[in-house]
Amino acid sequence: MKDILYAPWRDEYIAGKETQGCVFCHISQNQKDDEALHVLYRDEHCFMVMNRYPYTPGHFMIIPHLHTDKLEELPSETWLHMSDLAQKGVKLLKEGFGAHGVNIGMNLGRAGGAGIAEHIHMHLVPRWDRDTNFITSIAQNRVYSTDFIRVYKRIKELVPKYI
């Protein structure tokens, strides 16, 4: 007998409306839909958006508006701005959201592990002491312990104070 792990919240991902083209460009170009797309912040260079299928509660991304898969071709001004937002985002996650630590990362290219390889993006993943439980260790699955929308609203509430 096989064990079954139910994840009904992923139904939207599987059966939902598929975005044509680059999902990050879609978010960049549709500011009017920021709430529905879970955008936390945007300015002329970048936007910050919750990762809809996060590693841990509060996982968000910093994404340049410029569509590129090459970090080496990103204008320095945009890269420096992303770095500034990352510093502020870490402070937000630690001080405002209570994270004990934060993983920051970019997976460049499909071979580098990028799920959306055509548009670079930086992940900020909040971490807590002992946040890896047995299911991650023995079943290669993660348990998301809180409501996504509640986390989105809490972090969005913190953005004006930290960003």
- Cα–Cα distance measured from residue 101 to residue 125, given in angstroms and rounded to the nearest whole number: 9
From the list 38, 59, 119, 121, the catalytic residue is 121
Burial code of 30-68, b = ≥16 C-beta within 10 A, e = fewer? Answer: eeeebeebbbbbbeebbbbbbbeebbbbbbbbbbbbeee
Task: Give catalytic status of residue 121 as yes or no.
Answer: yes
Show which residues are catalytic.
Answer: 121
